[in-house]
Structure 1
Amino acid sequence: MNQAKHIAIIMDGNGRWAELQGKKRVKGHEAGAEVVKRITTYCSNSPEIERLTLYAFSTENWKRPRLEVEFLMKLLNTYLKNELSVYLQNNVRFEPIGDMRAFSKSLQATIKMVEEKTAHCDGLVQSLALNYGAQDEILRAVNALKNCDGDITHDMLSNQLDCKESVDLLIRTGGDHRLSNYLLWQSAYAELFFTDTLWPDFNIKELEKIIKKFTKVERRFGGLK
């Protein structure tokens, strides 16, 4: 039986969820942040799940309207400060991935603070992908290795990436069927599950159903088994 040790989620549909309810898009992001808390807490209490990686803000999201981006930055800063106690209570270690240099100094400081204060936690690892894009991640890794002696090996590149762990189960909410530049290297043999559920409506029951289906999938990793 497969174990979903590393679950990655593309949390899509916040804006559409709000618009369908006649609300501003930012209300969808607020609702989505609450789902992050519930899903993270659930995963932290599951002995099989070791890592949860969530696509929070991509390198392409800067193209969104300025006011929405500014709101997302404030929401992230507030979320991290508020969730620190939740991380600690649930023994969750926070490990962000992505290029943080584009964020304000104050947001960078908050990210670093939460990372440092949860560094001792040895339960679930929760990664938020922040200013993250898989192509950017791979390019940064290659540039870091370009002056090394000899050929770049698989392990060398893997160890230079922001996220060094392979994904077992990748879930995308919101109805679209694409990876959107997310964990492309790490998801080479991930099982992909797509749901029409918008992220603010995603719940633990649906996650459990997906994990149950995942456990029954035959994973061959290119072989015949």
Structure 2
Amino acid sequence: MQQQYHIGIIPDGNRRWARERNLSDKEGHKHGSIVVKDAIEWALKKPEIKEVSIYILSEENFNRSKEELKWLNAVYSEGLNDLRHREFIRKLKVRVKMISTKPEKLDSEVKKVFKSLHSETKIYSNKVLNILIGYTGKSEILAAINKPLNKIKNLFFGLTEKDILKGMQIQSSCDFIIRSSFEEAERESKSGFLIWQSAYSEYYNIPKHWGDVTT
């Protein structure tokens, strides 16, 4: 049986891509959203790839201005709605999961689209797409640790790796991480992405802004 892999993607450089072309930040993110969907489809169509995790918004990004968050949420809602109707989701039987460590801060329209995606794809198990939004790995680990601590036995016998893993939203190890952005080419920054799951990941940096990435 062919080995199947879990791929992580950190798309970075949308604003820099836009500014180099005298476009607005919003236009950069809209273009980046199209590239994201194309990259997801390209990856999941490969038989050796079972799972894709893509990082679209960190917890820290909630500190951006209200105006910026408003149009970012509009871009996300539009992009997710388009993803719902992509043929490959049904053809490949892709289960789509929203992964968030601050779901209460997510825009109501974004959550509504995610609810539809989850409802429409929860019966699938052939492939998995994890969309990380309002997420950071530190918060996921803390939440995972706190769950088993509520069980008295763990206070006496100590936590095991298995105990913590049970509390994680994503339990499979990430085999490869792909990050774009020309300015990040010299350093392997994961920006809080899947800290636990990527302990042994191989890291690949694409020395381009995300908007310049092609499949």
TM-score using structure 1 length: 0.85
- CA drift at 1:145: 2.1
What is the alpha-carbon distance in structure 2 between the residues aligned to residue 195 and residue 115 of structure 1? 31
Q: Which moved more, 1:78-87 or 1:6-15?
A: 78-87
| SS class of match (2:49) | coil
- CA drift at 1:153: 1.0
- CA drift at 1:3: 5.5
- CA drift at 1:19: 0.5
Q: Residue 34 of structure 2 corresponds to which residue in structure 1? A: 34
Query: Percent identity, aligned pairs only?
Result: 28
Q: Residue 5 of structure 1 corresponds to which residue in structure 2? A: 5
AA paired with 2:55?
A: Y
AA paired with 1:183?
A: L
Once the two structures are superposed, the pairs formed by residues 31-180 of structure 1 within 5 Å of their partners are 31-86=31-86, 87-99=89-101, 100-148=103-151, 149-150=153-154, 151-175=158-182, 176=184, 177=187, 178-180=189-191
What number of residue pairs does the alignment pair up? Answer: 203
AA paired with 1:114?
A: L
- CA drift at 1:4: 6.3
Q: Residue 207 of structure 1 corresponds to which residue in structure 2? A: none
Larger proportion of strand? 2
TM-score using structure 2 length: 0.88
- CA drift at 1:139: 1.1
For the aligned residue pairs, the C-alpha RMSD in angstroms reads 1.6
Runs of 4+ in 1 over 4 A off after TM superposition: none
Q: Which moved more, 1:139-148 or 1:23-32?
A: 139-148
Q: Residue 191 of structure 1 corresponds to which residue in structure 2? A: 202
5+ long unaligned stretches in structure 2:
none
Once the two structures are superposed, the pairs formed by residues 192-207 of structure 1 within 5 Å of their partners are 192-204=203-215
- CA drift at 1:194: 1.3
5+ long unaligned stretches in structure 1:
205-225
What is the alpha-carbon distance in structure 2 between the residues aligned to residue 197 and residue 90 of structure 1? 29
What is the alpha-carbon distance in structure 1 between the residues aligned to residue 80 and residue 213 of structure 2? 21
